[in-house]
């Protein structure tokens, strides 16, 4: 099974977004990763639903929506309306995580939980069997192009062991500082999905870069 690659639209050229979407449609990318930020949970603001609502009209790639916002449960219906396959919420951003996971499921999407670099994977022990995916942030969320945090490799291994222990079907996704070198280490540790932003969109040949990531 090849590695699942989900290019992050955060690093696309928003002055020519249609061209980048067409490139992703042609490419071997499996999903499109959408980072929605509120300027509160993370110190940055990205795009909103006005942009994401349009994507389902121009791509058949599954959408992986990552909400870097406080109280993400307030926007479950809006994310579902985009046609997103996955809805990622931060463990650190919601008080009643189990309830939110059930609400995501009831909306027809697959629930995913994101952990910041400082959050141990052990916090998911009581909910791992309810999740379709866990996203490990390998940078502090909020900005693209940051340096990879090496401790993420250990966290991937720990998460893989947790998934096996509880017979969970959750995928392991990693976002931040992903390139061919770090991607290789992450896949070897047990990662299933690589999110890559600047590494893909800053490449001279993004389609080839996506292909290389898939072959890790």
Residue of 20, 38, 132, 175 with catalytic role: 175
Assign 3-class secondary structure to the chain: CCCEEEEEHHHCCCCCHHHHHHHHHHCCCCCEEEEEEECCCCCCECCCHHHHHHHHHHCCCCEEEEEECCCHHHHHHHHHHCCCCEEEEEHHHCCCHHHHHHHHHHCCCEEEEEECCCCCHHHHCCCHHHCCEEEEECCCCCCCCCCCCCHHHHHHHHHHHHHHHCCCCCEEEEECCCCHHHHHHHHHHCCCEEEECHHHHCCCCHHHHHHHHHCC
Q: Which residue has the tokens 């009643």?
A: 96
**CB–CB of 208/25 below 8 Å?**
no
Residue of 20, 35, 64, 132 with catalytic role: 35
Q: Is 175 a catalytic residue?
A: yes
Q: Is 20 a catalytic residue?
A: no
Q: Which residues have a Cβ under 8 Å from the Cβ of 164 and sit 6 or more positions away?
A: none
Q: Which residues are designated catalytic?
A: 35, 175
């Amino acid at each position: 099974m090849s590695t699942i690659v989900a290019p992050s639209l955060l690093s696309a050229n928003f002055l020519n977004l249609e061209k980048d979407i067409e490139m992703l449609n042609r490419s071997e990318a499996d999903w499109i990763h959408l980072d929605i930020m509120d300027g509160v949970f993370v110190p940055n603001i990205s795009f909103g639903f006005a942009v994401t609502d349009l994507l389902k009209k121009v791509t058949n790639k599954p959408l992986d929506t990552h909400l870097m916002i406080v109280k993400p449960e307030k926007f479950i219906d809006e994310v579902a309306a985009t046609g997103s396959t996955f809805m990622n919420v931060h463990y650190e951003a919601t008080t009643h995580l189990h309830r939110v996971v059930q609400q995501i499921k009831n909306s027809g999407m697959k629930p995913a939980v994101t952990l910041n670099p400082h959050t141990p994977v052990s916090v998911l022990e009581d909910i791992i069997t309810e999740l379709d995916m866990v996203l490990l942030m390998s940078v502090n969320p909020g900005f693209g192009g940051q340096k990879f945090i090496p401790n993420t490799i250990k966290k991937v291994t720990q998460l893989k062991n947790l998934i096996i222990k509880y017979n969970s079907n959750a995928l392991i996704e990693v976002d931040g500082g992903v390139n061919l070198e770090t991607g290789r280490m992450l896949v070897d540790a047990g990662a299933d999905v690589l999110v890559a932003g600047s590494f893909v969109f800053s490449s001279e040949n993004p389609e080839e870069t996506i292909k290389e990531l898939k072959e890790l």
